[in-house]
Amino acid sequence: MMNNLAVEVSQLRVQRGKTSVFDGIDLAIPRGQITGLLGPSGCGKTTLMRSIVGVQRITSGEVTVLGEPGGSRQLRHRVSYGTQGAAVYGDLSVRQNLSYFAALLKAPKGDVDRVIAEVGLGPQAGQLVDSLSGGQSTRVSLAMALIGSPELVVLDEPTVGLDPVLRSELWGLFRGLADRGVTLIVSSHVMDEALRCDRLLLLREGRIIADTTPHALLADTGTDDPEAAFLALIERDRSLSGDTRRSRREARADDGEASA
């Protein structure tokens, strides 16, 4: 029977130099849903995504993706990763960029036409990428991520810098993919995008401070504003972290007195 989890992370530790990015986090991401990774810049969203797709050097722990070790060859055509500012050639047309990428992946014939239609770039297919608007360029990046019909699509802040109308259109595309059974992991620091996800992982300082749903997040914090809800969770986390540090200092002091 197929595991209903797309991603399982167990005791993931990532060290960058002398800095600990993750110190043993655990998480599970279900198949066929949109999972949002939300949190302020520098909280570890990109590092977590890189760990999931297998391009991040991890210190220890296990990352399982679609039943396989993260980054394994078996996942090459099943997982797609759209980075911020995806590498496209500005002096090539939309179709030429996608055809080149499809050839690298040995994607099925007709895949380029399919993804162009999916992201609504039919009229711009022959245009040079450098001549496109910001929103159209973002659609090219998304089209590249969809080449080969991946089962898991990981997108790092795909709506950054876009106006509300374009962001709404892109989220409509994401929802359509999820409705067809594709699993999406989408990072963002725009809190109102949380309401468009099925599940939320809220990160702060390399820790998951909430694994929840949009409805549960608002109910738990007693607000109807996702940004206010996230700020409430941060305050709660700060309070708990302060209590933990105080408890540790008191324990060390008690140990010192006992040994005196």
φ/ψ of 206, rounded to 5, equals 75, 10
In this model, does residue 171 exceed pLDDT 80?
A: yes
The DSSP call for residue 213 is -
- Of the ranges 144-153, 163-172, 194-203, 250-259, which one carries the lowest mean pLDDT score? 250-259
Edge-first strand listing for the sheet containing 152-155: 79-82, 152-155, 183-188, 34-38, 199-204, 207-212
Question: Domains of the chain (ranges plus CATH)?
Answer: 21-57+67-188+198-238 (3.40.50.300)
pLDDT by residue (tens digit) across 158-167?
A: 888 788 888 8
| Structure-token match 């106006």, residue found | 163
pLDDT by residue (tens digit) across 70-114?
A: 999 999 899 999 887 667 899 999 999 999 999 999 999 899 999
What's the pLDDT at 166? 83
Instruction: Of 108, 51, 118, give the one whose Cα is nearest residue 79.
Output: 51
Q: Which of residues 161 and 219 earns the better pLDDT score?
A: 219
Q: Which two tokens stand for residue 250?
A: 């008191």
Query: Rounded to an integer, what distance in angstroms lies between the CA atom of residue 229 and that of residue 223?
Result: 6
Q: H-helix or E-strand containing 241? A: helix 226-259
Q: What is the mean pLDDT of residues 127-142?
A: 90
Q: What is the mean pLDDT of residues 19-36?
A: 96
In the chain, % of residues over pLDDT 90: 65
pLDDT by residue (tens digit) across 100-109?
A: 999 999 999 8
How sure is the predictor about 1, in pLDDT bands with cuts at 50, 70 and 90? very low
Q: Which two tokens stand for residue 145?
A: 């991520």
Residue 185 in contact with residue 37, Cβ under 8 Å? Answer: yes
Q: Which of residues 165 and 251 earns the better pLDDT score?
A: 165
What's the pLDDT at 253? 46
How sure is the predictor about 255, in pLDDT bands with cuts at 50, 70 and 90? low
How sure is the predictor about 258, in pLDDT bands with cuts at 50, 70 and 90? low
What's the pLDDT at 85? 67
- Of the ranges 83-87, 167-171, 174-178, 252-256, which one carries the lowest mean pLDDT score? 252-256
What's the pLDDT at 257? 54
First to last CA, the chain: 60
**39-43, 71-75, 236-240, 244-248: which has the highest mean pLDDT?**
71-75
At what angle are helices 134-146 and 111-118 packed, to 10 degrees? 140
How sure is the predictor about 213, in pLDDT bands with cuts at 50, 70 and 90? very high
Q: For the chain, what is the mean pLDDT? A: 89
Indicate if the alpha-carbon torsion angle 48, 72, 12, 178 is positive or negative: positive
